[in-house]
Amino acid sequence: MASGEATFKSRYREYGGEQAYWPLGPFKVRLPGIHYAWSIPEMGQAIFMCATCLGAIPVLTEVLGVTYEVALSMVIINGFLYCLHVLLGDPVVPGWVTPSIPLTTAFLMNYEMGPARNQALIGTQFLLAIIFLVFGITGLGAKVIRMVPNSVKCGILMGGGISAVYTEFAATGRFNKYPISIAVGAIIAFFCLFSPIWANMRKKSKIIDTIGKFGMLPAIIVGVILGPIVGEIAIPDITWWPLIKIPEFGNIWTQLSPFSIGFPDAATWAACVPMAIVIYIIAFGDFVTSEALITEADEVRKDEKIDFNANRSNLVSGIRNLIMSLTCPYTQMCGPLWAAVTAAVSQRYKEGPDAMESIYSGAGTFRWSTFVCVALMPISSLLQPVLPVALSLTLLVQGWICTQLAMNMCEDDIERGICGVMGCVLAARGAAWGLAVGLILFFICYHKKEAAKNA
């Protein structure tokens, strides 16, 4: 018996086994406290990291013309649907299809504010849901990930990383509005998540180790404190009552649901088809990132067998997008991964069972906690001014993770070349262009690579 197995204790699984669950067709139902332990550090992160979830509000109010209260209600509904992933067996922290947001908003601007624009969003998200569901039901999700060449997977990750960082530092990026808050917050986030200096400090100090368990939380807290001091962020006006925001279901139904405002006409449906395909291509990169992060964590932790299934992830993402499209269509869409937080969770998970009992403990606790936090008015009002900074820090961390994974996954110089070129094209010209360039480069360089291997 290995020493790790001898000291391992869990009431949810045996050493090397899969975490307990209730089988439900393709799903594996897991509830906190019944199938996995609650994780206090992830709950602490969620209190402040829900600022990123609330970051959808400015986009929703500007693009759809809804009030702050309706937008907050939409965020709460979306927050509950986030919980479906771990609940149904997907070992990740889900999020938006973030890189698609500029493309989606540009597409919606072709329609007049009101029912016409809302119907265009309904059509896009409904068709995206169908794509997710078809890939999940037919099993194409897992097959496609296995079929995609490694160099193209790397290129998708690289493109996502470059795009995430570039958009923050571009002329219209958030860095120009909040330079000090974002710069200091990013330095703290990178240091706490990735620096070996910080990792060594954690080994020597219990206080520093405790801080390190909270991932990006120190960076968000610094943003909340530093922003008002340097004049980049307003001082929060905290609302104490009502304590809990009850979603405005009536207003959402009358303003946004297709059963109230009507479904798109034929021309709008046709225009939504290519938009939905492009968004799925972007979301496909999240499946690649999910597989890479979970595989890496699974290789480190021998005490738990993690079951990541792209088909199941497609199904859950499809269910979320379908529900949102028929109730309150969401400009951010429902993506299968929040890369920055999933990386933070997996990083702490790799520290061992004493740090995190199961990958589901981290991901599940985080998402159930963010759902509760976005509905608590004192928290949502406290974080309202810092929403843009929190979103920016999340994207910068996602950029680090994606580029790091892309370079680590490359096996030789040919793959590194394809990865770099494809990633740049994807960031500059969009998902369709990037994928096309990556596949072309793969096919014209593949035989040379095989010949080199066989020489």
Q: pLDDT tens digits, residue range 355-413?
A: 899 999 999 999 999 999 999 999 888 888 887 888 788 778 878 888 888 898 898 89
What does the pLDDT read at residue 455?
A: 46
DSSP state, residue 386: G
pTM of the entire structure?
A: 0.80
What does the pLDDT read at residue 225?
A: 86
Note whether residue 10 is domain-resident.
Answer: no
Residue 85 has pLDDT above 80, yes or no: yes
Note whether residue 247 is domain-resident.
Answer: yes
**What mean pLDDT comes out for the span 141-156?**
80
The one-letter code for the residue type at 147 is M
Helices 387-409 and 40-54, packing angle to 10 deg:
110
The one-letter code for the residue type at 327 is T
Domains identified in the chain, total number: 1
Least confident of 262-266, 298-302, 434-438, 439-443: 434-438
Pairwise pLDDT comparison (145 vs 48), residue with the higher score: 48
Note whether residue 156 is domain-resident.
Answer: no
Note whether residue 234 is domain-resident.
Answer: yes
Note whether residue 425 is domain-resident.
Answer: no
- What is the maximum span of the chain, computed from C-alpha positions, in angstroms? 72
As a whole number, the mean pLDDT across the chain is: 88
- According to DSSP, the β-strands at 27-29 and 22-24 are antiparallel
Helices (H), 23-100: 40-54, 56-64, 68-82, 84-87
For residue 276, the surrounding DSSP H or E stretch is: helix 266-300
Q: Which residues are 304's β-sheet partners?
A: 17
What does the pLDDT read at residue 447?
A: 54
Residue 167 has pLDDT above 70, yes or no: yes
Range of the domain at 381: 35-149+162-409
Instruction: Work out the pLDDT band at 112, boundaries 50, 70, 90.
Output: very high
pLDDT > 70 fraction of the chain, expressed in percent and rounded? 96
Instruction: Work out the pLDDT band at 1, boundaries 50, 70, 90.
Output: very low
Note whether residue 450 is domain-resident.
Answer: no
Instruction: Work out the pLDDT band at 291, boundaries 50, 70, 90.
Output: confident
Note whether residue 199 is domain-resident.
Answer: yes
Show the tokens assigned to 387. Answer: 């929403």
Helices 387-409 and 179-194, packing angle to 10 deg:
40
Residue 206 has pLDDT above 90, yes or no: no
Show the tokens assigned to 312. Answer: 């199941």
Note whether residue 416 is domain-resident.
Answer: no
